[in-house]
Structure 1
Amino acid sequence: MAWAGGQVNNPTQADAMKSRLQAIEQDLSKNWEKRDELNRTAERASTELKEIQERGIGLARSLYRYSAKADSLQTRLQQMQERERSKSAAMARRQGQLAATLSALQRMARMPAATLVAIPQPPQNTIRSAILLRATVPKLKDEATRLADELRTLKALRANIAGDSKSLAKTMADLEKERLSLSFLTAKKMRLLEKTRSAEHSAATRTARLSARAGNMRELLWALLKQKQSPELRGEDFEPPPAAGKPETATAEPPTPPRQTAALAPFRLPRGPIPALGRIVTAFGAKMPNGTLSKGVYISTRPSAPVVAPTKGRVMFAGVFRGYGNLVILELPNKDHVLISGMAKISAEIGDEVLAGEPLGEMAPSTSSLPKLYFELRRQGRPINPLPPKAARRNKVRG
C-alpha cells in the first residue's frame, strides 16, 4: 500500500479500507448495544432477585405464623378432646348411679303402704328406708341439675372442638398453599440464578472437592477460608489446619453473650435467632448417646417446614458433608459461621448473599416421625451456644 501526504494512492484500496472501517464501526456499535442489553438484563435480574428475596422472606414469615397457629390449635384440640373424654366417662358413671337410685324410688312409689307392713323385716327398718329414700329425693334433684349443667358444658365443648377442627383444617390448607408458593418462588429463583451465573459453578466444584477431602467440620471450615483467601485454590491443594492445643469440644458459653446476640442481628419471629419453628429436643452441650457433647442444638420441626437464614450472611458451602447430610454454612458479617443441616432440600447455592429470614431449604415431608434440624454456631472455628441465654433456657422456639 502506497501513501502520499497521508493519502491512499489507489482508490480501490481506499474504498476497501473505508468498507472495513464501516464494518468495524458496525461491529462496535452492535457490541455496545449487546453490552447495554446485557447490562439491562443484569439490572432486571438483580431487581427480580431482590423482589424474590423479599417475597421469599414474607412467605417464610407467613409459613411460620401458620405453623405456630396450627401447633396452638392442635394442642388446644388435644386438651379439649382429653377433657371431653374425661367428662363423658364421669357422666356415664353418675348416670348409672342416678339410674339405680331412681329405679329404687320408682319401685317403692308403686308399692301400696299396706304392702310395706307385710314386708318380712322389722318395722323400724322399713320406716328408716322410707325416710332415707325421702331424704334422697332433694339430692337427686340437685344431682340431676348438675348433670344437666355438665351436659350443656359437654355440648359446648364439643362445639368448640368442631370449630377448632374446622379452623385447623383451614390453617393447614393455608399452610400448604404458602408452602407451594414458596417452593414455586424458590424454583424461579434457581432458574434465574442459572441464567445469571457462571463463575460460581467452578467455585462449587472446588468446594465439593474440598468437602470430599476434609475429615471433619474444622478441616472443612479451614479449607473454605483458605479458598476464600486464594480463589485459585484447587481441591488437590487441600491441607488440614494446624493442630489445636485442645480437641474440638462444645464451649459452655460464648465469651461475650450480649455481643454475640447483637452481632447475629437475628431473624426474630418472634424470639431468638433460629432457622426453623419447632421444639428443641437436644440442647447445646447436652450429652449425646455416643458420650460426646452436642456442639449445637437439634430442633424437631413440622414436616416440610421451611428453613431460613437466622441472619444475613454469605453461603460458603451448600451440599452434602459426611455426618451432616445436607449442609449449609453461612459466613456472618462478624466472621462467625452458622451450620445448618438435616434438610431434605437445599435452595441456596455457594456464593449467595442471603438476608435474615431468606429460605435456605425445606425439611422432609415425613409424617411418621418429626424431622430434626441441626443448628450450630462457630466462632474462630470452635462451637458456641447458638441461642441467647433466655432462649436457651426454653425448649420451645418460635423462630
Structure 2
Amino acid sequence: MTGVPRNRRLSWAAVLVAAAALCPAAPTRAADPPEKLVAELEQVRQESIAAAREAQQRQSTIGTLTRDIEMLDRDLAARRRGLDESQVEQAQLLGALERLARHPPEATKPAVGSPIDRVRSEILLAATIPALRAEAQALAGEVEAIASLGARITTKEAELAGARDALPKDREHLAEIVAHRAELIRQALPDADKAARPPAKPDTADLDKVIERADAAADKRDKALLARARASLPKEKAEALTPAEADPTRPKELRSFAAAIGGLLLPAPGRILAAAEAGGSGSAAQGLHIATPAAAIVTAPFDGQIVYAGPLHPYVLALIIRHTDGYHSLLAGLGRADSAVGQWVQAGEPLGVMPDAVEPGSGGEIYFELRRDGGPVDPQPWLAQRDDRIGDQRVRE
C-alpha cells in the first residue's frame, strides 16, 4: 500500500465493507437441521472407523516388519559369523581347488610307481574331487544365502521406512475426523454438559462400585436429555418419545451384545500376553493384557456408550463402555482419551491412544476386561477372527 493516497485507501475499505454487508453470510453449522447433523455424524463415524483401522494396520505392519528385520539380522549375523570362523578351512578348500584347476586329473601324467600305487592314487583322487566340489558348492550356497538375506533386509527396511513415513499422515487424518466428530456431537447436543456431570475421580478401587456410579450418572444424563426433548414437543409426541429418540447422537443401529460372540474386537493392535508376562493389574482369568506399539490407536471393542473416563487405580486413564444386556468393557492404560463420557461409539470407533514410547523401541500395555452383572467374563470366546500377521480384525459385516 506504499504510495497510495490515504483517502483512496479509505474509499477502498468502504467498498469492501459495503460488499460484505450486501453479500449473504454463509450458513453456520449450528443452523443445519438435526436430521442433516445426524446423517453427517453417522457418516463421520464410519469414516473414523475406517481411518482408525487403517492406522492400526499400519502400526501392525510396522511391528511385523521390525520383527522380521530383527530375525533376518540375527540370521545374517550368524551366517557371517560362521564364515568368519571357517576362514582357515575356506583357504584350504580354495587352495585345493586352485591346484586342481592348474593340474586337472585328466591332464596329469600317470604317477610313477607300481600299478597298485597308481590305482590307489586314482581311487583317492576320484573320491576327493567330488567332496571338494560339494564343499565348494556349499560355500557358494552360503555366500549366496548371505547376499539374499541382505537383499531381503534392504527390501523390508524400505517397506518399514515407507510405513513409518505414512503413519503420521494416518494420525493426522484420523485426528481431523475425530475433531469433526466431536464438533458434530457438540452441535447436536449443545447443552449435553448440563444434563449430567461426568463421574468424578473414584474414591474407591472397587470396579463394581465405579461401574455402578458411572451407570447411575449415565442414566441421569439420559433422563435429563429426555426431559429437555419432551419439553419442546406437544403432549402426545412428548409422551411417545423414548430415551433413545431423545439423544440424536445415539447410533440408529446398536447391536445386542448377547449375540456378539465372534464379533468382539481387541481394542488395540498387539499381542495378547501370557499371565507371567503381564505387567499391569488384573489377572489372566479376569481380562487380557495386550502388548501394543507406542502411541497405538485404541478403538471400541463393540457398540456401546462411554460411561466412565478417568483414573482407575493403578491406571492413570481408563475407559468403561456400557453395552447392552448388562455387559461392560474396561479399557485401562491409555495415554490420552479422544472421547467423552456419554458418547456413543460403534465397534472399531477411535477412543484414544496409548502412551508414547518411554525409550526407543518400547511399547505400551492395555488391559481389557469384559464384565457382566458385577463379574468378569472371559473375553476370548467373544473375540473376532484375527489375522495375527497384521493384527487385522473384521469390524462390521
Task: Mark yes or no: TM-score above 0.5.
Answer: yes
Post-superposition Cα deviations, 1:70-126, rounded to whole Å, max 9, x if no partner, equal 33322322222222222222233344213135558989999xxxxxxxxxxxxxxxx
Give the superposition deviation at 1:336.
0.6
Gaps of 5+ in 1: 1-35, 111-127, 234-259
SS at match of 2:314: coil
The letter of the residue matching 1:219 is K
Distance in structure 2 (CA, Å) of the matches to 1:331 and 1:290: 21
Q: Is the 8 A contact 1:295 1:384 kept in 2?
A: yes
- Of 259, 262, 265, the match for 1:263: 259
2:310 paired with 1:309? no
Question: Is the deviation greater in 158-167 or in 221-230?
Answer: 221-230
User: Alpha carbons of 1:339 and 1:101: their partners in 2 closer, same or farther (altered >3 Å)?
Assistant: closer
Q: Is the 8 A contact 2:295 2:355 kept in 1?
A: yes
- Of 322, 328, 351, the match for 1:331: 322
- Of 147, 154, 168, the match for 2:146: 154
Distance in structure 2 (CA, Å) of the matches to 1:291 and 1:68: 25
- Of 374, 378, 384, the match for 1:385: 378
Q: Is the 8 A contact 2:56 2:269 kept in 1?
A: yes
Question: Is the deviation greater in 380-389 or in 40-49?
Answer: 40-49
- Of 173, 188, 192, the match for 2:180: 188
Write out aligned runs for 1:205-216 (5 A).
205-208=197-200, 211-216=201-206
SS at match of 2:63: helix
The residue number in structure 2 matching 1:225 is 215
Write out aligned runs for 1:43-122 (5 A).
43-100=35-92
2:361 paired with 1:371? no
Post-superposition Cα deviations, 1:166-225, rounded to whole Å, max 9, x if no partner, equal 1121122223321221122222323443444344324563512xx434452111112223
Post-superposition Cα deviations, 1:115-161, rounded to whole Å, max 9, x if no partner, equal xxxxxxxxxxxxx9999789645533332232223222322221121
SS at match of 1:91: helix
The residue number in structure 2 matching 1:140 is 132
User: Alpha carbons of 1:105 and 1:321: their partners in 2 closer, same or farther (altered >3 Å)?
Assistant: closer
Sequence identity (%): 27
The residue number in structure 2 matching 1:300 is 291
Q: Is the 8 A contact 2:317 2:332 kept in 1?
A: yes
Computed over aligned residues only, the root mean square deviation of the Cα atoms, in angstroms, reads: 4.2
Greater relative contact order (CA < 8 Å, ≥ 6 in sequence): 2
Q: Is the 8 A contact 1:278 1:398 kept in 2?
A: no
2:339 paired with 1:348? yes
Gaps of 5+ in 2: 1-27, 104-119, 224-255
Give the superposition deviation at 1:337.
0.7
User: Alpha carbons of 1:277 and 1:289: their partners in 2 closer, same or farther (altered >3 Å)?
Assistant: closer
The residue number in structure 1 matching 2:111 is none
Write out aligned runs for 1:23-42 (5 A).
40-42=32-34
The residue number in structure 2 matching 1:170 is 162
Distance in structure 2 (CA, Å) of the matches to 1:68 and 1:287: 20
User: Alpha carbons of 1:213 and 1:155: their partners in 2 closer, same or farther (altered >3 Å)?
Assistant: closer
Post-superposition Cα deviations, 1:265-303, rounded to whole Å, max 9, x if no partner, equal 66x5xxx531111111245x9998999776321111011
Aligned residues: 320
Distance in structure 1 (CA, Å) of the matches to 2:222 and 2:323: 23
Distance in structure 2 (CA, Å) of the matches to 1:322 and 1:67: 28
Q: TM-score, normalization: structure 2?
A: 0.67
User: Alpha carbons of 1:265 and 1:195: their partners in 2 closer, same or farther (altered >3 Å)?
Assistant: farther
SS at match of 2:197: helix
User: Alpha carbons of 1:201 and 1:282: their partners in 2 closer, same or farther (altered >3 Å)?
Assistant: farther
Distance in structure 2 (CA, Å) of the matches to 1:379 and 1:389: 13
Question: Is the deviation greater in 163-172 or in 75-84?
Answer: 75-84
Larger Rg: 1
User: Alpha carbons of 1:274 and 1:232: their partners in 2 closer, same or farther (altered >3 Å)?
Assistant: closer
Q: TM-score, normalization: structure 1?
A: 0.66
The letter of the residue matching 2:172 is L
User: Alpha carbons of 1:54 and 1:147: their partners in 2 closer, same or farther (altered >3 Å)?
Assistant: same
Distance in structure 1 (CA, Å) of the matches to 2:308 and 2:281: 27
